[in-house]
């Protein structure tokens, strides 16, 4: 399978099997809340609880602050949450995707269907669930008058991040079929990745000698760009180009690895 096929196959398959994909997405969302008394109400209560908890910690206990000139706000909570929720969409998608093939092993071995729809539906459903917290923050900022025409870039940034995430999800879900320790390694990597990304601190706090960490970290570009668009009302087209590059590479390699590994899933699972 050539590179062009690797790029186009997930899209053409998703369009061709649109109803099946929608069914998987709906099932993934329902599965998060099935058996709970609150049901879908938890999609709103959970991010609200997160916001309240971090508000208590950062505004009352730690009382951390940032400068308006550098970040666009003097409220550390706003600074943190505008970076945290995009990270949560990314991290939660990977943690769910790594198990998606193993969790559906009985379906994969008994029914013939496009298996790539499973990671795709997992990423889409996870983004849908976690984006609610981000929308709550945006609604608050809108109320405070932060809105700008730069916010029109937000859907595009989300699409780029979703493609970057999907590429890694393809790779990790397939890899976990053959190497069952993948999920354990991923949990360690994600912890280190979180602290290596300027989420709980401004990028300017990183010493010059360690700036290479930011340049090699795709999520640093995503987080900083989200914040620049939302809080500073700026868009760095160089960062946008870097994000596009990382997303394309991740998606190409991830889909290639997944599609190449797919014929062996039935034998291993």
**Residue 28: which pLDDT band, with cuts at 50, 70 and 90?**
confident
Q: What is the mean pLDDT of residues 75-97?
A: 93
Q: What is the mean pLDDT of residues 238-246?
A: 94
- What global pTM score does this model have? 0.91
% of the chain surpassing 90 pLDDT: 56
Q: What is the mean pLDDT of residues 8-33?
A: 88
Q: What is the mean pLDDT of residues 67-95?
A: 91
What pLDDT score does 65 carry?
79
- At 193-217, the pLDDT tens digits run 999 999 999 888 888 888 888 889 9
Which is nearest to 59 in space by CA: 71, 47, 75, 43? 75
Residues with Cβ within 8 Å of 58's Cβ and at least 6 positions away in sequence, in order, are 64, 76, 77, 80
CA atoms within 13 A on the CB side of 264: 11
What pLDDT score does 210 carry?
84
SS3 63: coil
User: d(Cα 13, Cα 63) in Å, to the nearest integer?
Assistant: 50
What pLDDT score does 4 carry?
74
Alpha helices in the chain (DSSP H): 3-16, 18-33, 42-55, 68-71, 76-97, 100-103, 105-110, 117-143, 154-178, 182-196, 212-215, 218-227, 237-261, 265-268
Q: What is the mean pLDDT of residues 9-13?
A: 89
How far CA 184 is from CA of 74, 181, 188, 224, in Å, comes to 38, 5, 7, 28
User: d(Cα 24, Cα 228) in Å, to the nearest integer?
Assistant: 34
User: d(Cα 53, Cα 235) in Å, to the nearest integer?
Assistant: 30
For residues 108 and 170, which has the higher predicted lDDT (pLDDT)?
170
What pLDDT score does 221 carry?
95
For residues 59 and 37, which has the higher predicted lDDT (pLDDT)?
59
For residues 42 and 245, which has the higher predicted lDDT (pLDDT)?
245
**Residue 66: which pLDDT band, with cuts at 50, 70 and 90?**
confident
What pLDDT score does 217 carry?
95
What are the structure tokens assigned to 195, written together? 């602290």
Residues with Cβ within 8 Å of 219's Cβ and at least 6 positions away in sequence, in order, are 87, 90, 193, 197
Query: If you write DSSP's letter for every residue of 116-129 in order, what string do you get?
Result: THHHHHHHHHHHHH
**Residue 124: which pLDDT band, with cuts at 50, 70 and 90?**
very high
How far, rounded to the nearest angstrom, does the alpha carbon of residue 183 sit from its chain's CA centroid?
A: 17
User: d(Cα 259, Cα 188) in Å, to the nearest integer?
Assistant: 26
User: d(Cα 112, Cα 20) in Å, to the nearest integer?
Assistant: 12
User: d(Cα 211, Cα 213) in Å, to the nearest integer?
Assistant: 5
Residue ranges of domains in the chain: 3-268
**Residue 122: which pLDDT band, with cuts at 50, 70 and 90?**
very high
**Residue 68: which pLDDT band, with cuts at 50, 70 and 90?**
confident
Q: Do the beta carbons of residue 10 and residue 116 sit within 8 Å?
A: yes
What are the structure tokens assigned to 133, written together? 């917290």
Q: Does pLDDT of 46 surpass 80?
A: no
- At 133-176, the pLDDT tens digits run 899 899 989 988 888 899 999 999 999 999 999 999 999 999 99
Which range (104-118, 121-135, 167-181) has the least confidence?
Answer: 104-118
Q: Does pLDDT of 87 surpass 70?
A: yes
What pLDDT score does 117 carry?
94
With the C-alpha atoms ordered 93, 98, 103, 106, is the resulting torsion angle positive or negative?
positive
Q: Do the beta carbons of residue 223 and residue 198 sit within 8 Å?
A: yes
């Amino acid at each position: 399978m050539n590179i062009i096929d690797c790029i186009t196959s997930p899209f053409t398959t998703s369009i061709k099997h649109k109803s099946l994909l929608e069914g998987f997405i709906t099932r993934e969302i329902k599965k998060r809340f099935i058996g709970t008394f609150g049901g879908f109400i938890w999609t709103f209560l959970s991010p609200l609880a997160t916001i309240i908890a971090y508000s208590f910690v950062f505004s009352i206990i730690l009382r951390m602050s940032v400068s308006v000139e550098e970040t666009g706000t003097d409220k550390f909570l706003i600074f943190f949450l505008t970076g945290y929720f995009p990270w949560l969409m990314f991290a939660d998608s990977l943690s769910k995707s790594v198990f998606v093939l193993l969790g559906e092993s009985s379906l994969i071995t008994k029914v013939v269907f496009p298996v790539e729809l499973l990671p795709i539906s997992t990423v889409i459903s996870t983004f849908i669930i976690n984006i609610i917290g981000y929308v709550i923050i945006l609604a608050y900022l809108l109320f405070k008058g932060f809105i700008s025409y730069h916010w029109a870039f937000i859907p595009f940034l989300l699409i780029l991040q979703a493609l970057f995430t999907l590429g890694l999800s393809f790779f990790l879900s397939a890899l976990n079929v053959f190497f069952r320790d993948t999920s354990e390694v991923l949990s360690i990597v994600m912890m280190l990745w979180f602290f290596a990304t300027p989420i709980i601190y401004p990028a300017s706090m990183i010493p010059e000698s360690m700036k290479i960490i930011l340049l090699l970290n795709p999520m640093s570009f995503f987080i900083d760009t989200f914040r620049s668009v939302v809080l500073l009302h700026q868009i760095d087209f160089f960062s946008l180009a870097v994000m596009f590059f990382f997303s394309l590479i991740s998606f190409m390699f991830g889909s290639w690895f997944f599609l190449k590994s797919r014929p062996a899933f039935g034998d291993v699972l």
